[in-house]
């Protein structure tokens, strides 16, 4: 029996306008008093809060940065960052001047107000602080502050080279997610969406993974879907994600999650 729903956001829950459709809002708000619904994403918390409000689930935890930051009632319950010294070395290896955005909790530092920054602002509805990578590192150095996420953006061929460079140098320290051919999302090695759910199951809900229904579309969702009692891939998911999912539903742009929830709980 499903007692907890966990859903990725981008590519899974949002429509073509990167918004929650009326149907999605209706179906989730219909369920919110029956079981907890947790948003779990690579986004920063402030890029998730407005979606929580629309769905009327602000009393539920959120999992940001692919599991790097877990918040309950706006309080940090678990925080895992890429160590400062690793962040520093990654910056040094950026010889092609790719766009590297640095994130910690609700701070987003973008090096320039360029089209990559504008795209992320449009996608997440959050505005960054414009500050060079060196300036951020100088500010972080005293307390050895780490990054919850590094977002690397640039031309596909340069991104591929940088991805390979990161893999060669930091395989024991970081997770690398190629969310698009022009993007790399860099996260701490020891966390995942699955590990975040397991933490919440133990500390908040007293449930087992077999009682979790999860939705996703990308490589960073695979562990979560495989471990869940019911792992569901949207129709637009990567083929590798569909292969491990228990079920594949309609595309995110066609309200796949909303339609599935309606049918599943009506049946139940």
**Backbone CA torsion sign across 38, 49, 119, 78:** negative
Tell me the CATH number at 165.
3.30.1240.10
Mean of pLDDT values over 164-186 = 92
Q: Are 15 and 258 within 8 A, CB to CB?
A: no
pLDDT of residue 96: 85
**Cα–Cα distance between 210 and 30 in angstroms, integer?**
23
**Cα–Cα distance between 62 and 39 in angstroms, integer?**
5
Q: What is the mean pLDDT of the chain?
A: 95
Reported as a single tens digit per residue, the pLDDT across 194-237 is 999 999 999 999 999 999 999 999 999 999 999 999 999 999 99
Verify that 72 and 196 share a domain, yes or no: yes
pLDDT more than 90, % of the chain:
94
Matching residue, tokens 């066609």: 254
- Domain end, chosen from 188, 212, 242, is at 188
Reported as a single tens digit per residue, the pLDDT across 26-39 is 999 999 999 999 99
39 SS3 class: strand
pLDDT of residue 268: 57
Verify that 150 and 227 share a domain, yes or no: no
Residue 53, both tokens: 């409000």
Tell me the CATH number at 249.
3.40.50.1000
Q: How confident is the model at residue 180 (pLDDT cuts 50, 70, 90)?
A: confident
Query: Residue 193 — φ and ψ, nearest 5°?
Result: -65, -35
Lowest-pLDDT range, 64-73, 86-95, 175-184? Answer: 175-184
Q: How many domains is the chain built from? A: 2
- Domain end, chosen from 169, 188, 207, is at 188
Verify that 100 and 51 share a domain, yes or no: no
Verify that 28 and 104 share a domain, yes or no: no
Higher pLDDT, 95 or 136: 136
- Domain end, chosen from 188, 216, 241, is at 188
Residue range of the domain that includes 108: 84-188
Verify that 166 and 121 share a domain, yes or no: yes
Verify that 74 and 196 share a domain, yes or no: yes
Mean of pLDDT values over 105-121 = 95
Verify that 32 and 110 share a domain, yes or no: no
């Amino acid at each position: 029996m499903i007692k907890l729903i966990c859903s990725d956001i981008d590519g899974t829950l949002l429509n073509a306008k990167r918004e929650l459709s009326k149907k999605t809002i209706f179906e989730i708000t219909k369920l919110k008093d029956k079981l907890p619904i947790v948003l779990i994403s690579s986004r920063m918390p402030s890029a998730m809060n407005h979606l929580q409000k629309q769905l009327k689930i602000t009393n539920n935890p959120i999992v940001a940065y692919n599991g790097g930051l877990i918040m309950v009632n706006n309080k940090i319950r678990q925080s895992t960052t890429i160590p400062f010294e690793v962040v520093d070395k990654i910056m040094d290896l950026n010889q092609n001047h790719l766009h590297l955005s640095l994130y910690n909790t609700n701070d987003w530092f973008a090096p320039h107000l360029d089209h990559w920054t504008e795209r992320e602002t449009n996608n997440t509805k959050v505005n960054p602080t414009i500050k060079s990578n060196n300036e951020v590192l100088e500010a972080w150095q005293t307390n050895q502050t780490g990054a919850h996420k590094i977002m690397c953006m640039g031309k596909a061929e340069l991104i591929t080279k940088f991805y390979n460079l990161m893999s060669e140098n930091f395989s024991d320290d970081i997770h690398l997610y190629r969310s698009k051919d022009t993007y790399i999302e860099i996260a701490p090695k020891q966390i995942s969406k699955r590990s975040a759910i397991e933490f919440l199951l133990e500390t908040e809900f007293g449930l087992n993974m077999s009682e979790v229904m999860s939705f996703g579309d990308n490589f960073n969702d695979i562990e979560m879907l495989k471990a869940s009692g019911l792992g569901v891939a949207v129709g637009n998911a990567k083929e590798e994600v569909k292969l491990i999912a228990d079920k594949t539903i309609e595309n995110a742009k066609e309200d796949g999650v909303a339609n599935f929830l309606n049918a599943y709980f009506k049946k139940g």
